[in-house]
Structure 1
């Protein structure tokens, strides 16, 4: 049996990340262009709340733990790919995806496209757009040789299309017997120090930019974010200064976000940042410069000084 598009789910910590649904939505679009089937593969058993209805086929790799181990996953996914014969393999540009994409492309002598932000079918060819140099350049290539492995930047596609309730056809592939020959085993999963933040999944984001002035002042906006029970995100200058860790960065060289509401304090609105947040449903900006580019995309805005406004908002929310 063969499928046209295969999506790799990264349920590394026991939960399926939002980007998997992004890949399912885009995978459905691409598979329709090929006039074929969309498949999803994951390690272990799917949880009851994740039916993955956007997929036609659900491959479960039995005989292995869901915890990520590069040699085991490369071997196991290799068996799935040999069975499914996909033209396109979609994986996210994350810790797992960066590791897997190149290895799988090499294993099957396929094409690799990294840091993908768009992919469409045009005249029988796959046209892929990737960001280079931290998003400073965009590269568009036409792929007509398959299989093609696409490593997709999280936040690039809508996830709603992939969140379809249904019952895909189950195919269980037992890989337990072959794993004994893998060159490594998973012993322990250690999460990176990211303060537990996932800004791509948050419905509300409170974001801060260069206008905050110093690392000490970041705490002012952090208190508002805490009061609103929202993650604190930031533009690139704040990250470059070391005022917040990298997982908090919004922008081409950070993460693309699509919250329901995006609050921007002291953010001028450089193109690098706007590329990462312009898809938010509602953008509310605070900047003392009335000509700041952020106001060109903001739905609501004010030129009040953030040092006057933020404490008032924190009091209102906290009260």
Structure 2
């Protein structure tokens, strides 16, 4: 136990470890190492043992296994998390900025009488305190927040960090709750899942994004051809989704998905702040737009001030010829 440790609350959904847990571990690593601390991963579930191999990037894994933790409900989860955090006294507690996290984090912070920071895009150590970059006003503004009190509860936005990769063998501890966990008035009933999309754009290395600049739905086919030739998928800005050109599962941005592909090719996308928030972590961004003042060019590594519809056929032909 160290005042420089960082504790990550793993997110388990439908008895499976959520990918964002590895993003949280990556965020925790930088802060913990700056002070010589360790990364602790807390797993609250009916049986967290199957998740241990995937959590190797942590230094320590604390399992709290209890039937009340099989599916998320606020009272038992807050009680179990509070008990571990109170015992460990970490520098910070990282929680996923998901629907579960939005419920758990404020309740846990209140129970700990600790500061809560939401919308976190990055966190770094600053002496005994922390500096957190926070997104607010629907992604239109960013703020740098200094946090001096420990522990602080931080909600990390999905897609803010690249998933941590496995390191060594983490030390595993299994703890029993000191007292029976409360069932509470709010209880889990069932998972209601959104309609599955045909493609998970968050898992793609190459994304071809279409915006209002492609003018009509029929032109999406050209983007599909290019994406297929590049081994990727097509995604969209909100205006393109609102027009019905692509389903909501393909939307990138504040009200859609956060993506971090190796290549993000934006065709006719102006680059509203809400859209940029969902893709600004891409390794390489190429923008194509007729408007030289389009905000997308500020985020892009390369840009072309041309009509995407003039460029698309040539790109499809060139990539096809390159592949033989």
Shorter chain as denominator, the TM-score bin is 0.7 to 0.9
Given the superposition, is the C-alpha separation of residues 316 and 71 from structure 1 closer, same or farther in structure 2, using an over 3 Å criterion?
A: farther
* Aligned length, in residue pairs: 317
Deviations 1:184-213 (CA, angstroms, capped at 9, x unpaired): 443322212352754333222231111133
Distance 1:184 1:290, change over 3 A: closer
CA distance in 2, matches of 1:196, 1:185: 32
TM-score (norm: length of structure 1): 0.82
Q: What is the TM-score normalised by the length of structure 2?
A: 0.81
Using the TM superposition, give the Cα deviation of residue 73 of structure 1 relative to its aligned residue in structure 2, in angstroms. Answer: 1.9
Secondary structure in 1 aligned to 2:50?
coil
Report the counterpart of residue 282 of structure 1 in structure 2. 284
Q: Secondary structure at the match of 2:138?
A: helix
Any unmatched runs of 5+ in structure 2? none
Change (3 A) 1:115 1:196: farther
Once superposed, which parts of structure 1, at least 4 consecutive aligned residues long, lie more than 6 Å away? Answer: 226-229
Q: Specify the alignment match of 1:34 in structure 2.
A: 35
For residue 55 of structure 1, report the CA deviation from its aligned partner. 1.4
In 1, the alpha carbon distance for the partners of 2:49 and 2:264 equals 32
- For structure 1, the 5+ residue unaligned runs are none
Quote the residue 2:66 is aligned against.
Answer: 63
SS at match of 2:81: helix
Distance 1:183-1:291 versus aligned 2 partners, 3 A rule? closer
Are 2:238 and 1:236 aligned?
Answer: yes
- Aligned residues: CA RMSD: 3.5
Q: How far apart in 1 are the matches of 2:91 and 2:61?
A: 17
Structure 1 contact 63–176 (Cα < 8 Å) conserved: no
Query: Judging changes above 3 Å, is the alpha-carbon distance between structure 1 residues 103 and 231 closer, same or farther for their aligned structure 2 residues?
Result: farther
Deviations 1:67-106 (A, max 9, x none): 3233332222222222322231101111111111111111
Deviations 1:262-290 (A, max 9, x none): 23222134455344324323334444557
Q: Which moved more, 1:2-11 or 1:282-291?
A: 282-291
Distance 1:186 1:87 in 2: 31
**Counterpart for residue 214 of structure 2:** 212
Residue 124 of structure 2 corresponds to residue 120 of structure 1: yes
In the aligned structure 1, how far is the partner of 2:206 from the partner of 2:293? 25
Question: Does structure 1 residue 18 correspond to structure 2 residue 19?
Answer: yes
In structure 2, the partner of 1:6 is: 7
